[in-house]
Copies of this chain bind each other. A is one copy, B any other.
Protein backbone atom coordinates (compact mmCIF):
# COMPACT_ATOMS: atom_id res chain seq x y z
CA UNK A 1 0.00 0.00 0.00
CA UNK A 2 1.81 3.10 -1.17
CA UNK A 3 -0.38 5.62 0.64
CA UNK A 4 0.06 4.06 4.09
CA UNK A 5 1.57 6.51 6.59
CA UNK A 6 2.75 6.00 10.17
CA UNK A 7 2.60 8.82 12.71
CA UNK A 8 4.56 8.16 15.86
CA UNK A 9 3.23 9.97 18.92
CA UNK A 10 6.24 11.01 20.99
CA UNK A 11 5.18 13.01 24.02
CA UNK A 12 6.36 11.80 27.38
CA UNK A 13 7.34 13.55 30.55
CA UNK A 14 10.34 11.50 31.65
CA UNK A 15 9.07 10.74 35.13
CA UNK A 16 8.68 6.99 35.07
CA UNK A 17 12.31 6.24 34.28
CA UNK A 18 13.93 9.05 36.19
CA UNK A 19 16.88 9.56 36.44
CA UNK A 20 17.62 7.75 33.18
CA UNK A 21 14.80 9.69 31.57
CA UNK A 22 14.15 13.35 32.32
CA UNK A 23 11.81 16.01 30.98
CA UNK A 24 14.55 16.91 28.48
CA UNK A 25 15.15 13.28 27.54
CA UNK A 26 11.89 11.37 28.02
CA UNK A 27 11.40 7.63 27.92
CA UNK A 28 11.46 7.33 24.09
CA UNK A 29 15.17 8.26 24.16
CA UNK A 30 16.12 5.66 26.78
CA UNK A 31 18.45 3.08 25.23
CA UNK A 32 18.39 0.58 28.11
CA UNK A 33 15.75 -1.65 26.55
CA UNK A 34 16.75 -3.13 23.22
CA UNK A 35 20.07 -1.29 22.98
CA UNK A 36 18.86 1.81 21.15
CA UNK A 37 16.36 4.60 21.73
CA UNK A 38 12.80 3.26 21.89
CA UNK A 39 11.71 5.82 19.28
CA UNK A 40 14.41 4.59 16.88
CA UNK A 41 13.12 1.05 17.41
CA UNK A 42 9.56 2.30 16.75
CA UNK A 43 10.61 3.63 13.35
CA UNK A 44 12.88 0.71 12.45
CA UNK A 45 10.28 -1.96 13.09
CA UNK A 46 8.24 -0.46 10.22
CA UNK A 47 10.97 -1.34 7.73
CA UNK A 48 9.52 -3.04 4.66
CA UNK A 49 6.01 -1.79 5.47
CA UNK A 50 6.30 2.00 5.73
CA UNK A 51 9.29 3.75 4.16
CA UNK A 52 11.00 6.54 6.16
CA UNK A 53 9.53 9.30 4.01
CA UNK A 54 6.02 8.19 5.05
CA UNK A 55 6.94 8.07 8.76
CA UNK A 56 5.98 11.20 10.73
CA UNK A 57 6.47 12.13 14.35
CA UNK A 58 4.38 14.45 16.49
CA UNK A 59 6.35 15.46 19.55
CA UNK A 60 6.94 18.39 21.91
CA UNK A 61 8.54 21.43 20.26
CA UNK A 62 11.44 21.14 22.73
CA UNK A 63 12.15 17.57 21.58
CA UNK A 64 12.11 18.14 17.81
CA UNK A 65 15.89 18.44 17.43
CA UNK A 66 16.63 15.36 19.56
CA UNK A 67 13.96 13.39 17.71
CA UNK A 68 15.46 14.29 14.33
CA UNK A 69 18.87 13.16 15.59
CA UNK A 70 17.38 9.86 16.78
CA UNK A 71 15.69 9.27 13.39
CA UNK A 72 18.24 10.32 10.76
CA UNK A 73 16.43 8.34 8.05
CA UNK A 74 13.17 10.28 8.55
CA UNK A 75 12.94 13.60 6.62
CA UNK A 76 13.37 16.54 9.04
CA UNK A 77 10.05 18.14 8.01
CA UNK A 78 8.24 14.94 9.04
CA UNK A 79 9.07 15.64 12.69
CA UNK A 80 6.50 18.17 13.89
CA UNK A 81 6.58 19.90 17.27
CA UNK A 82 3.53 20.70 19.35
CA UNK A 83 3.81 24.24 20.74
CA UNK A 84 2.30 23.18 24.10
CA UNK A 85 1.14 20.06 25.87
CA UNK A 86 -2.29 18.94 24.79
CA UNK A 87 -3.69 15.45 25.06
CA UNK A 88 -3.67 12.76 22.34
CA UNK A 89 -6.75 13.97 20.44
CA UNK A 90 -4.96 17.16 19.32
CA UNK A 91 -1.95 15.13 18.21
CA UNK A 92 -4.16 12.75 16.20
CA UNK A 93 -5.92 15.70 14.54
CA UNK A 94 -2.52 17.15 13.66
CA UNK A 95 -1.47 13.76 12.27
CA UNK A 96 -4.67 13.63 10.25
CA UNK A 97 -3.90 17.00 8.66
CA UNK A 98 -0.25 16.11 7.96
CA UNK A 99 -1.23 12.87 6.20
CA UNK A 100 -4.10 14.49 4.27
CA UNK A 101 -1.62 17.05 2.88
CA UNK A 102 0.80 14.32 1.79
CA UNK A 103 -1.52 11.51 0.72
CA UNK A 104 -5.03 12.91 0.30
CA UNK A 105 -8.36 11.75 1.71
CA UNK A 106 -7.84 8.14 0.75
CA UNK A 107 -4.45 7.71 2.48
CA UNK A 108 -4.32 5.42 5.50
CA UNK A 109 -2.62 6.49 8.72
CA UNK A 110 -1.39 4.40 11.65
CA UNK A 111 -1.05 6.23 14.97
CA UNK A 112 1.81 4.47 16.78
CA UNK A 113 3.54 4.81 20.12
CA UNK A 114 7.15 5.93 20.56
CA UNK A 115 8.10 4.32 23.85
CA UNK A 116 7.06 0.70 23.79
CA UNK A 117 8.86 -2.49 22.87
CA UNK A 118 7.63 -5.14 20.47
CA UNK A 119 9.64 -8.31 20.61
CA UNK A 120 7.91 -9.75 17.51
CA UNK A 121 8.25 -6.99 14.90
CA UNK A 122 7.34 -9.27 11.96
CA UNK A 123 4.06 -10.21 13.65
CA UNK A 124 3.49 -6.51 14.33
CA UNK A 125 4.02 -5.59 10.67
CA UNK A 126 1.60 -8.34 9.56
CA UNK A 127 -1.19 -7.19 11.86
CA UNK A 128 -0.52 -3.54 10.99
CA UNK A 129 -0.68 -4.27 7.24
CA UNK A 130 -3.96 -6.16 7.67
CA UNK A 131 -5.37 -3.36 9.82
CA UNK A 132 -4.50 -0.90 7.05
CA UNK A 133 -6.28 -3.04 4.49
CA UNK A 134 -9.32 -3.26 6.77
CA UNK A 135 -9.31 0.50 7.41
CA UNK A 136 -9.25 1.21 3.69
CA UNK A 137 -11.91 -1.35 2.87
CA UNK A 138 -14.41 -0.68 5.67
CA UNK A 139 -13.77 3.01 6.35
CA UNK A 140 -13.86 2.17 10.05
CA UNK A 141 -11.24 3.19 12.60
CA UNK A 142 -9.20 0.09 13.47
CA UNK A 143 -7.60 -0.16 16.87
CA UNK A 144 -4.76 -2.56 17.69
CA UNK A 145 -5.50 -4.88 20.59
CA UNK A 146 -2.97 -6.98 22.44
CA UNK A 147 -3.87 -10.50 23.55
CA UNK A 148 -3.45 -10.31 27.35
CA UNK A 149 -0.73 -12.43 28.93
CA UNK A 150 -2.02 -11.71 32.46
CA UNK A 151 -4.98 -9.82 33.99
CA UNK A 152 -3.28 -6.43 33.96
CA UNK A 153 -4.81 -3.56 35.92
CA UNK A 154 -2.57 -0.98 34.30
CA UNK A 155 -4.14 -0.92 30.83
CA UNK A 156 -7.55 -0.20 29.34
CA UNK A 157 -9.32 -3.05 27.51
CA UNK A 158 -11.34 -3.43 24.32
CA UNK A 159 -14.21 -5.92 24.06
CA UNK A 160 -14.24 -7.62 20.64
CA UNK A 161 -17.63 -8.35 19.09
CA UNK A 162 -18.48 -10.22 15.89
CA UNK A 163 -15.79 -10.78 13.32
CA UNK A 164 -15.79 -8.22 10.54
CA UNK A 165 -15.62 -9.25 6.90
CA UNK A 166 -12.28 -7.66 6.05
CA UNK A 167 -10.79 -10.36 3.87
CA UNK A 168 -7.60 -10.22 5.94
CA UNK A 169 -5.69 -13.14 7.37
CA UNK A 170 -5.63 -11.40 10.74
CA UNK A 171 -9.06 -11.84 12.31
CA UNK A 172 -10.53 -8.39 12.89
CA UNK A 173 -13.59 -7.82 15.06
CA UNK A 174 -16.12 -5.14 15.72
CA UNK A 175 -15.06 -3.28 18.86
CA UNK A 176 -18.07 -3.53 21.19
CA UNK A 177 -16.69 -1.16 23.82
CA UNK A 178 -13.62 0.46 25.30
CA UNK A 179 -13.18 0.13 29.08
CA UNK A 180 -10.89 1.96 31.49
CA UNK A 181 -8.13 0.38 33.61
CA UNK A 182 -9.96 -2.21 35.75
CA UNK A 183 -9.48 -3.41 39.32
CA UNK A 184 -7.96 -6.87 39.78
CA UNK A 185 -11.26 -8.81 39.86
CA UNK A 186 -12.63 -7.00 36.82
CA UNK A 187 -9.35 -7.56 34.96
CA UNK A 188 -9.66 -11.31 35.55
CA UNK A 189 -13.21 -11.24 34.21
CA UNK A 190 -12.11 -9.24 31.14
CA UNK A 191 -9.35 -11.71 30.32
CA UNK A 192 -11.73 -14.64 30.78
CA UNK A 193 -14.22 -13.03 28.41
CA UNK A 194 -11.59 -12.46 25.72
CA UNK A 195 -11.14 -8.70 26.08
CA UNK A 196 -7.83 -7.39 24.72
CA UNK A 197 -5.49 -4.67 25.94
CA UNK A 198 -5.92 -1.26 24.35
CA UNK A 199 -2.41 -0.55 23.10
CA UNK A 200 -3.16 3.04 22.08
CA UNK A 201 -2.52 2.44 18.38
CA UNK A 202 -5.15 3.28 15.71
CA UNK A 203 -5.32 2.87 11.95
CA UNK A 204 -7.75 4.86 9.80
CA UNK A 205 -8.42 6.33 6.38
CA UNK A 206 -7.95 10.10 6.46
CA UNK A 207 -11.54 10.73 5.32
CA UNK A 208 -12.86 8.45 8.07
CA UNK A 209 -10.97 10.29 10.79
CA UNK A 210 -12.02 13.65 9.38
CA UNK A 211 -15.63 12.53 9.52
CA UNK A 212 -15.28 11.26 13.10
CA UNK A 213 -13.61 14.50 14.21
CA UNK A 214 -16.28 16.63 12.53
CA UNK A 215 -18.99 14.71 14.31
CA UNK A 216 -17.48 14.27 17.79
CA UNK A 217 -14.82 16.97 18.14
CA UNK A 218 -15.43 19.95 15.81
CA UNK A 219 -12.57 22.06 17.20
CA UNK A 220 -10.17 19.26 16.31
CA UNK A 221 -11.66 18.91 12.82
CA UNK A 222 -10.82 22.57 12.27
CA UNK A 223 -7.26 21.93 13.46
CA UNK A 224 -6.89 18.94 11.09
CA UNK A 225 -8.18 20.93 8.11
CA UNK A 226 -5.91 23.90 8.88
CA UNK A 227 -2.84 21.63 9.15
CA UNK A 228 -3.77 19.98 5.85
CA UNK A 229 -3.86 23.39 4.17
CA UNK A 230 -0.67 24.74 5.72
CA UNK A 231 2.71 24.84 4.00
CA UNK A 232 4.25 25.33 7.45
CA UNK A 233 2.29 23.43 10.12
CA UNK A 234 4.22 25.14 12.95
CA UNK A 235 2.44 28.45 12.26
CA UNK A 236 -1.00 26.82 12.34
CA UNK A 237 -0.25 24.81 15.46
CA UNK A 238 1.00 27.87 17.31
CA UNK A 239 -2.22 29.66 16.48
CA UNK A 240 -4.73 26.87 17.05
CA UNK A 241 -3.25 24.74 19.87
CA UNK A 242 -4.22 27.17 22.63
CA UNK A 243 -7.85 26.78 21.55
CA UNK A 244 -8.15 22.99 21.19
CA UNK A 245 -9.45 20.91 24.09
CA UNK A 246 -7.15 18.89 26.32
CA UNK A 247 -8.73 15.52 25.72
CA UNK A 248 -7.59 12.01 24.87
CA UNK A 249 -8.42 10.47 21.49
CA UNK A 250 -10.10 7.56 23.30
CA UNK A 251 -12.47 9.89 25.05
CA UNK A 252 -12.92 12.36 22.16
CA UNK A 253 -13.46 9.87 19.36
CA UNK A 254 -12.87 6.15 19.90
CA UNK A 255 -15.48 5.62 22.61
CA UNK A 256 -18.07 7.52 20.55
CA UNK A 257 -17.37 6.44 16.99
CA UNK A 258 -19.88 3.97 15.57
CA UNK A 259 -17.56 2.04 13.34
CA UNK A 260 -14.55 0.84 15.27
CA UNK A 261 -12.81 -2.45 14.63
CA UNK A 262 -10.18 -4.19 16.70
CA UNK A 263 -7.32 -6.20 15.25
CA UNK A 264 -5.88 -8.23 18.09
CA UNK A 265 -2.81 -10.36 18.25
CA UNK A 266 0.43 -11.21 20.00
CA UNK A 267 3.33 -9.14 18.71
CA UNK A 268 5.42 -9.19 21.89
CA UNK A 269 4.03 -5.86 23.00
CA UNK A 270 5.62 -4.48 26.17
CA UNK A 271 4.87 -1.00 27.42
CA UNK A 272 7.97 -1.00 29.71
CA UNK A 273 5.88 0.95 32.18
CA UNK A 274 8.22 1.48 35.11
CA UNK A 275 11.52 0.44 36.66
CA UNK A 276 9.94 -2.88 37.67
CA UNK A 277 10.28 -3.80 33.98
CA UNK A 278 14.03 -4.20 34.45
CA UNK A 279 13.64 -7.77 35.64
CA UNK A 280 11.82 -8.67 32.40
CA UNK A 281 14.65 -7.40 30.24
CA UNK A 282 17.84 -8.38 32.01
CA UNK A 283 19.16 -11.68 33.38
CA UNK A 284 17.79 -12.44 36.84
CA UNK A 285 19.90 -14.48 39.27
CA UNK A 286 18.60 -17.12 41.69
CA UNK A 287 17.96 -14.53 44.37
CA UNK A 288 15.81 -12.51 41.97
CA UNK A 289 18.36 -9.76 41.30
CA UNK A 290 18.51 -8.13 37.86
CA UNK A 291 21.57 -6.08 36.97
CA UNK A 292 22.12 -3.78 33.99
CA UNK A 293 25.55 -2.17 33.98
CA UNK A 294 28.21 -1.83 36.64
CA UNK A 295 27.16 -3.24 40.01
CA UNK A 296 28.45 -5.46 42.81
CA UNK A 297 25.92 -7.29 44.99
CA UNK A 298 26.42 -9.15 48.26
CA UNK A 299 23.57 -10.83 50.17
CA UNK A 300 20.88 -9.10 48.14
CA UNK A 301 17.50 -10.37 46.98
CA UNK A 302 14.95 -9.14 44.47
CA UNK A 303 16.97 -6.05 43.65
CA UNK A 304 17.03 -4.38 40.23
CA UNK A 305 20.09 -2.27 39.49
CA UNK A 306 21.00 0.00 36.61
CA UNK A 307 24.56 1.27 36.77
CA UNK A 308 25.09 3.88 34.07
CA UNK A 309 26.90 6.35 36.30
CA UNK A 310 29.22 5.64 39.21
CA UNK A 311 29.44 1.87 39.83
CA UNK A 312 26.94 0.66 42.41
CA UNK A 313 27.61 -1.69 45.32
CA UNK A 314 24.74 -3.19 47.31
CA UNK A 315 24.98 -5.09 50.55
CA UNK A 316 22.25 -6.91 52.45
CA UNK A 317 19.30 -5.16 50.77
CA UNK A 318 16.15 -6.44 49.08
CA UNK A 319 13.12 -5.37 47.04
CA UNK A 320 14.82 -2.24 45.73
CA UNK A 321 15.32 -0.51 42.43
CA UNK A 322 18.67 1.31 42.30
CA UNK A 323 19.61 3.46 39.33
CA UNK A 324 22.90 5.32 39.06
CA UNK A 325 23.45 7.90 36.34
CA UNK A 326 26.14 10.57 36.17
CA UNK A 327 23.55 13.16 37.24
CA UNK A 328 21.55 11.37 39.92
CA UNK A 329 21.10 8.23 41.98
CA UNK A 330 17.70 6.66 42.65
CA UNK A 331 17.03 4.23 45.49
CA UNK A 332 13.36 3.18 45.38
CA UNK A 333 11.26 0.49 47.01
CA UNK A 334 10.21 -1.86 44.21
CA UNK A 335 6.55 -1.61 45.13
CA UNK A 336 6.70 2.19 44.85
CA UNK A 337 8.37 2.30 41.41
CA UNK A 338 5.05 2.90 39.66
CA UNK A 339 4.54 6.06 41.75
CA UNK A 340 7.90 7.55 40.83
CA UNK A 341 6.42 10.81 39.58
CA UNK A 342 5.63 11.71 43.21
CA UNK A 343 9.34 11.64 43.97
CA UNK A 344 10.27 13.46 40.77
CA UNK A 345 7.82 16.24 41.69
CA UNK A 346 9.76 16.70 44.94
CA UNK A 347 13.20 17.03 43.36
CA UNK A 348 14.91 20.43 43.50
CA UNK A 349 15.23 20.61 39.69
CA UNK A 350 13.56 17.76 37.83
Residues on A close to B: CB < 8 A?
Answer: 18-19, 296, 298-299, 309-317, 320, 322, 324-333, 335-336, 339-340, 342-343, 346-348
CA distance A326 to B309 in the complex (A): 9
Copies of this chain in the oligomer: 2
Most buried by B among A320, A324, A329, A335: A329
Which B residue's beta carbon lies closest to that of A349? B311
Indicate if the CB atoms of B332 and A310 lie closer than 8 Å: no
Which B residue's beta carbon lies closest to that of A298? B343
Indicate if the CB atoms of B332 and A314 lie closer than 8 Å: yes
CA distance A68 to B331 in the complex (A): 38
CA distance A293 to B207 in the complex (A): 59
Indicate if the CB atoms of A333 and B317 lie closer than 8 Å: yes
CA distance A18 to B298 in the complex (A): 15
Contact for A331 among B312, B335, B343, CB less than 8 A: B312
Contact for A317 among B332, B346, B348, CB less than 8 A: B332
Most buried by B among A314, A315, A343: A315
CA distance A325 to B324 in the complex (A): 11
Q: Top 10 closest A-B pairs, CB basis?
A: A316-B333, A316-B336, A315-B343, A315-B332, A312-B329, A314-B331, A298-B343, A324-B329, A310-B329, A310-B328
Nearest-neighbour CB distance to chain B for A101, whole angstroms, equals 45
Indicate if the CB atoms of A313 and B331 lie closer than 8 Å: yes
Q: Could you say which residues of chain B place their CB within 8 Å of the CB of A335?
A: 316
Nearest-neighbour CB distance to chain B for A223, whole angstroms, equals 39
Cβ contacts A to B, 21 pairs, < 8 Å: A18-B313, A19-B313, A296-B346, A296-B347, A298-B343, A309-B329, A310-B328, A311-B329, A314-B331, A314-B332, A315-B330, A315-B332, A315-B333, A315-B336, A315-B343, A316-B333, A320-B331, A322-B329, A322-B331, A329-B329, A331-B331
Nearest-neighbour CB distance to chain B for A344, whole angstroms, equals 8
Nearest-neighbour CB distance to chain B for A202, whole angstroms, equals 35
CA distance A327 to B348 in the complex (A): 23
CA distance A332 to B333 in the complex (A): 14
Which B residue's beta carbon lies closest to that of A305? B331
CA distance A320 to B340 in the complex (A): 19
Nearest-neighbour CB distance to chain B for A186, whole angstroms, equals 27
Q: Could you say which residues of chain B place their CB within 8 Å of the CB of A327?
A: 310-311
Nearest-neighbour CB distance to chain B for A262, whole angstroms, equals 37
**New A-B pairs, 19, CB < 8 Å, besides A312-B331, A315-B332:** A298-B343, A310-B325, A310-B329, A312-B328, A312-B329, A313-B329, A313-B330, A313-B343, A314-B332, A315-B330, A315-B339, A316-B333, A316-B336, A317-B332, A317-B333, A322-B331, A324-B329, A329-B329, A331-B331
